[in-house]
């Protein structure tokens, strides 16, 4: 759960070029500032001392997301015209409780994808556009905390994308009909790993974040 605050830059602001562009991706960033909060980052956009041509559509903090540019408009966040016009830029703060920030950003990213009819395949790192070390808190071992890396973030986005009700289905496994529950979404069959493992004769335990399957003896 997060609170979305709209604090849009006024029309004509030097960091708000405007426009009306369909968005085909979401680009994830982190601020490269281990101290600042989402509120600090929003204030910086209005600070006369800020002469950088850099801005984001949204910034995610701990349980809060602030918007500075409307989705349809251009924001200078990934250094290339196609990205700036066609990608929703989401920043993550680097301060505070890292797990909460990633959780907030993942849930919000899922909501943006749904709103624009996009899927997790349409998520990009800033790195993908320009090779910049961003979001460094998810891709650079020097800044990753407790193993919460890009893969972890994507797992959390998946979690928030799959909000459907499971349906009871029959699956054929080795020619045998078995019952299972699944959610069919985004062209994927989501079946509980534990159920699937049971059917195939495996047991599942978790090692940290990683499921480990072992054939039952």
Residues facing 180 on adjacent strands: 169
Between 29 and 156, whose beta carbon lies closer to Zn ion? 29
> For 123, phi and psi rounded to 5 degrees?
-90, 135
Between 153 and 180, whose beta carbon lies closer to Zn ion? 153
Angstrom distance (rounded) from CA 183 to CA 192: 9
Shortest distance in whole angstroms from residue 35 CB to Zn ion: 17
**Ramachandran category for residue 62: left, alpha or beta (phi over 0 → left; psi -120 to 50 → alpha):** beta
Give me the residues that bind Zn ion (CB under 5 A), please. Answer: 29, 126, 134
Shortest distance in whole angstroms from residue 56 CB to Zn ion: 8
Between 134 and 161, whose beta carbon lies closer to Zn ion? 134
Spatial CA neighbour of 149 closest among 189, 92, 64, 111? 92
Shortest distance in whole angstroms from residue 66 CB to Zn ion: 16
Between 122 and 185, whose beta carbon lies closer to Zn ion? 122
Shortest distance in whole angstroms from residue 132 CB to Zn ion: 6
């Amino acid at each position: 759960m997060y609170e979305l605050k709209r604090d849009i830059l006024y029309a004509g602001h030097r960091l708000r070029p405007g426009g009306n562009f369909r968005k085909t991706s979401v680009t994830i960033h982190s601020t490269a500032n281990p101290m600042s909060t989402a509120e600090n980052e929003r204030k910086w956009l209005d600070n006369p001392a800020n002469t950088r041509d850099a801005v984001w559509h949204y910034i995610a903090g701990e349980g809060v997301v602030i918007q500075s540019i409307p989705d349809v408009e251009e924001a200078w966040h990934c250094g290339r015209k196609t990205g700036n016009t066609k990608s929703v830029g989401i920043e993550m703060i680097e301060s505070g409780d890292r797990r909460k920030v990633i959780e907030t950003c993942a849930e919000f990213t899922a909501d943006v994808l749904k709103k624009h009819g996009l899927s997790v395949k349409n998520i990009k790192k800033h790195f993908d556009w320009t090779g910049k070390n961003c979001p460094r808190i998810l891709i650079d071992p020097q800044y990753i905390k407790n193993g919460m890396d890009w893969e972890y973030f994507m797992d959390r986005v998946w979690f928030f994308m799959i909000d459907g009700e499971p349906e009871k289905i029959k699956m054929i496994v080795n020619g045998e009909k078995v019952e299972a529950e699944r959610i069919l979404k985004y062209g994927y069959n989501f079946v509980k790993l534990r159920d699937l493992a049971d059917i195939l004769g495996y047991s599942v335990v978790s090692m940290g974040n990683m499921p480990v399957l072992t054939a039952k003896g």
